[in-house]
Amino acid sequence: MTQFFQVLGMSYEWAWFVATICGVLLIALPLMLAVAMVIYAERRLWAFMALRRGPNVVGPFGLLQSFADGLKVMLQETIIPAASNKGLFLIAPIITFTVALSAWAVIPFNSGAILGDINVGLLYVLAISSLGVYGTVIAGWSSNSKYPFFSAMRASAQMISYEVSIGFILICVVLWAGTFNMNDIVQAQKGHILGVVNAFALNPLLFPLWVMFFISGLAECQRTPFDLTEAESELVAGYQTEYSSMAFALYWLGEYANVLLMCTLNATLFWGGYLPPVDWAPLYLVPGIVWLLLKICVFFFMFGWVKATVPRYRYDQLMRLGWKIFLPLSLLFVFVVSGYLMLTGHFS
């Protein structure tokens, strides 16, 4: 895109600057629209699974429901509790929202269509997603209220526990791909299974890791069955209890942007990203972003499916799963995968 603006007669620096701004807008604006639509889609999905109708009044099939909700919260009054820590109380939702958007900078949408093609892309995603916990913790502490505080405690312990095993799982992917660059990780999956299927996940050594990654992703996004931070039967609404108006809406948008990001990571790291599912020439005629969006939709459906059907874990069960099952298993797989790759001469 930089070259396009250079053709229009700009110097290289300005062309780069304008191209980057355009890239950011090209990712962030459709993402916001997508978040509005997936909130609607997920509510319909849960409704169908619970034999209800779901939102079907605003607009055709209720498609405009999310926009109506957005307008509603925008017109509400922002209530700041008198005993809260006001500065931090307002910063917390901004942190959640910013973090949820900034990780998208290194996601490849097509071959070469990537905002920040850095060679530590995967580490960048890990670094940014490890910041997400601060939005929750700061909100819980600054609200100066019991339930949000409990929620903040739970969130900080939960996020740290599952990040450890996510790190080990991703190390296996990086070992196999041989790079941290997101675009190269996608390219490494081309014809991975017998030169036909473009996906790491169907590899027998990596499939269990993908299952663990999916479940850890649920925990990392604090979705059911691991949504103990906003367990409505115990904590009212957890860290969001004291929030209203746009601050509350920022949490909602951030949460769904995070869910979409986790779906995209599933698709990019394990299921071939923007590559078609099978390495067959006519399939490459379809633009890569279509394949990526299709895969994201499938994973988003799975996230919604889990939320509609699986009951919530107890906190000790959550910790047991993270530390006693996922951590030893993922460590074992780091050992097995690196051993396999070394014995088969992958590194030479």
Partner 1 sequence: MIQEIAFYLFAGLMLVAGALVILSRNPVHSVLWLIVAFFNAAGLMVLVGAEFIAMLLVIVYVGAVAVLFLFVVMMLDIDFAELRAGFVRNFPLGLALAAVLFVELFVGLVVRSAGGLTLGTPDGSAAPSLGTTNTEAIGALLYTRYIFLFEAAGIILLVAMIGAIVLTHRQRPDSRGQNVSRQVARRPQDATRNVKPEVGKGVQL
Which residues contact partner 1 (rule: CB under 8 A)?
88, 118-120, 123-124, 126-127, 130-131, 133-134, 137-138, 141, 149, 152-153, 156-157, 159-160, 163, 167, 180, 316-317, 320
Tell me how far apart the alpha carbons of residues 121 and 170 are, in angstroms, rounded to a whole number.
12
What residues pair up with 197 in beta bridges, in sequence order?
A: 193, 278
Query: Please, which residue, 34 or 341, has the CB nearer to partner 1?
Result: 341
- Provide the token pair at 327: 């951590």
Measured from the CB of residue 185, what is the shortest distance to partner 1 in angstroms? 13
Q: How many CB atoms lie within 10 A of CB 317?
A: 13
Q: Which amino acid is at 204?
A: P
Measured from the CB of residue 130, what is the shortest distance to partner 1 in angstroms? 3
Measured from the CB of residue 137, what is the shortest distance to partner 1 in angstroms? 6
Helix H or strand E encompassing 195? none
Tell me how far apart the alpha carbons of residues 279 and 197 are, in angstroms, rounded to a whole number.
6
Query: Please, which residue, 124 or 271, has the CB nearer to partner 1?
Result: 124
Query: Please, which residue, 220 or 227, has the CB nearer to partner 1?
Result: 220
CB 152 within 8 A of CB 140: yes
Measured from the CB of residue 36, what is the shortest distance to partner 1 in angstroms? 29
CB 177 within 8 A of CB 186: no
Measured from the CB of residue 204, what is the shortest distance to partner 1 in angstroms? 25
Tell me how far apart the alpha carbons of residues 242 and 275 are, in angstroms, rounded to a whole number.
44
Measured from the CB of residue 48, what is the shortest distance to partner 1 in angstroms? 31
Residue 199: burial class (beta carbons within 10 Å; 0-12, 13-18, 19+):
buried
